[in-house]
Structure 1
Amino acid sequence: MSLTAALQNTIRFNPSEEAVAQYILDHREQVLNLSIQTLSERTFTSPSTIVRLCRKVGLKGFKDFKIKWSAELQKEYNTISNVDPDFPFTDDDSYGEIQKKILELFTDSLNKTNQILSNDQVETAVEYLLKAKKIGVFAYGDTYLPALNFQNKLMKIDMAVQLATLPGENRHLATNFKTGDCAIVISYSGESKNNYYITQLLKESGTTVIVITGNTHSHIASLADLVLPVAKNESQSVKLSTFSSQVAIDYVLNTVYGCLFVSNYETNQSKRIASETLFLDDRF
């Protein structure tokens, strides 16, 4: 029988022991950081009551209890599965359970994206970007953060990336692109009206378009010269946050960045070292 089940089986407990058991069940993680004296104070009982409870559930004392309790909680966290990407945690989850669920959600999204993203697709994206006279990234809302991160990384290896900074600027920026340029359009759903209009503008001007999306059969994807897929776990309805999609998009962009970096490794490495050395200089 698990300790949780033993603590819930209150038939053998007196009222004081039952109070301690309920406190432990209500404060599952916090109990691990409490001394027997602190636990007795918080439950308005005595240390001897706690020791007696521990023995009734088959353990020698409170120290032994905490060791077994910690192991049981860890086992529970390790067996958490089938995390809902839209609502990965609830108000009943402990901090440890939330930590485990977010880890599982990220791992699942990364693994699924890795499975559908081919080496050929990444290689083609890198070729397009290296040949481009001008590079732009078009993103909106939550997808803007991975785009900004990508721009920041490329800037540090002297690759300029244009990214709109104000709402509504995307359309104006798109009109500046033409044949010989390359644009990355990020749209998780692939059905955003604004992004679809921007992608049309880019295609009409002869710009090479790379689309990063969770919907490879979407209207936006149909306009692309190249589609880089991400795992489509989230729904388009209400969700707590875009955990799964953001980490997947970040993964794809970081992969492209890594491949761009190694395409001219010695030069890029020298730039990064020179830049870091400059900013470490205490003359400023």
Structure 2
Amino acid sequence: MSLLTDLKHDEQFNASEKAVAQYIITNKEEVLNLSIQALSELTYTSPSTVVRLCRKIGLKGFKDFKIKWSAELQKEYNAISNVDPDFPFTDDDSYGEIQKKILELFTDSLNQTSQLLSPDKLERAVELLLQADKIGVFAYGDTYLPALNFQNKLMKIDRSVHMAALPGENRHLATNFRQGDCAIVISYSGESKNNYYITQLLKQNGATIIVITGNPSSHIASLGDLILPVAESESQSVKLSTFSSQTAIDYVLNTLYGCLFVSNYDKNQSKRIASETLFLDERF
């Protein structure tokens, strides 16, 4: 039986001991950093009450309790698995449990996406971007943030990426793309009506299209010349946030940036060093 179970089965505790037990249950990690005096003060009890509680659950004292409590929490965190990407945490989770779940969510998303993203696809994407007269990224909502990060990185190695700055500008931007240009369309679901319309415009104008999506069989993906897949784990309906999808998309774009960087490593490295040196010189 676990310590947590022992603390919850409080029939054997008096009122003061129940107060200490409830505080420990509610503040799982914080208790590990408390002295016996601090814990007794926070629960309006005495150190002897804390010791008595520990002995009632089969331990020698508070130091023994903290050692076994720490081990139990670690075992619990390590056992957390199959995190729901739509609702990865609940109001019952401690900060430590949330930390563990988000880490697992990100790790799973990255591992799954890495397996889908073959070197051949990356090589083809780099070829298309290097050959392009003009590069554009078309994203909307949450996918706009990793796209903006990608644009910022390429700007620092002297590669211009066109993106709409205001809502509604994507359509106007798409009409300016022609044969010889390359557009990256980001749509996790692959079924956004707005993005589908934009992708149709790009296709009609003869632009080369790279689609980053979690749904390679979607309508938007069907218009692409190259598909860079990301792990599809989130639903398309209600969710707490786009933790998994945004991480996966960011990973693909960062990987693409890295491949573009090494395509002309010496030149790009010199550019980055020169830029950073210039900004360092401007500091007070």
TM-score of the pair, normalised by structure 1: 0.97
Structure 1, 20-29 or 123-132: larger mean CA deviation? 20-29
1:63 to partner: Cα distance:
2.0
Q: Name the structure 1 match of 2:106.
A: 106
1:273 to partner: Cα distance:
0.6
Q: Name the structure 2 match of 1:5.
A: 5
Q: Name the structure 1 match of 2:148.
A: 148
Percent identity reads 81
Q: Name the structure 2 match of 1:169.
A: 169
Query: Match of 1:49, SS?
Result: helix
1:283 to partner: Cα distance:
6.7
Query: Match of 1:209, SS?
Result: strand
1:184 to partner: Cα distance:
0.2
Q: Name the structure 1 match of 2:229.
A: 229
1:57 to partner: Cα distance:
2.1
Q: Name the structure 1 match of 2:215.
A: 215
Query: Match of 1:212, SS?
Result: strand
- Residues 82-108 of structure 1 deviation map (CA, whole Å, 9 limit, x = unaligned): 111111111111100111110111111
CA distance in 2 between counterparts of 1:175 and 1:40 reads 69
CA distance in 2 between counterparts of 1:181 and 1:259 reads 19
1:49 to partner: Cα distance:
1.1
- Residues 233-255 of structure 1 deviation map (CA, whole Å, 9 limit, x = unaligned): 01110110000100000011111
Q: Name the structure 1 match of 2:31.
A: 31
Unpaired runs of 5+ in structure 2? none
Q: Name the structure 2 match of 1:244.
A: 244
1:35 to partner: Cα distance:
1.9
CA distance in 2 between counterparts of 1:18 and 1:148 reads 53
1:64 to partner: Cα distance:
2.2
Structure 1, 61-70 or 45-54: larger mean CA deviation? 61-70
Query: Match of 2:162, SS?
Result: strand
Q: Name the structure 1 match of 2:157.
A: 157
1:147 to partner: Cα distance:
0.3
CA distance in 2 between counterparts of 1:179 and 1:14 reads 79
CA distance in 2 between counterparts of 1:205 and 1:8 reads 67
CA distance in 2 between counterparts of 1:30 and 1:128 reads 53
1:282 to partner: Cα distance:
4.0
Aligned length: 284
Q: Name the structure 2 match of 1:205.
A: 205
CA distance in 1 between counterparts of 2:72 and 2:241 reads 30
CA distance in 1 between counterparts of 2:26 and 2:210 reads 51
Q: Name the structure 2 match of 1:64.
A: 64
1:20 to partner: Cα distance:
1.3
TM-score of the pair, normalised by structure 2: 0.97
1:24 to partner: Cα distance:
1.0
Query: Match of 2:210, SS?
Result: strand
Which amino acid is 2:149 matched to?
Answer: N
- Residues 115-140 of structure 1 deviation map (CA, whole Å, 9 limit, x = unaligned): 11111111100000000010000000
Query: Match of 1:63, SS?
Result: helix
Query: Match of 1:147, SS?
Result: helix
CA distance in 2 between counterparts of 1:106 and 1:87 reads 13
1:15 to partner: Cα distance:
2.7
1:29 to partner: Cα distance:
1.7
Unpaired runs of 5+ in structure 1? none
Q: Name the structure 2 match of 1:82.
A: 82
CA distance in 2 between counterparts of 1:174 and 1:242 reads 26
1:61 to partner: Cα distance:
1.8
1:16 to partner: Cα distance:
2.0
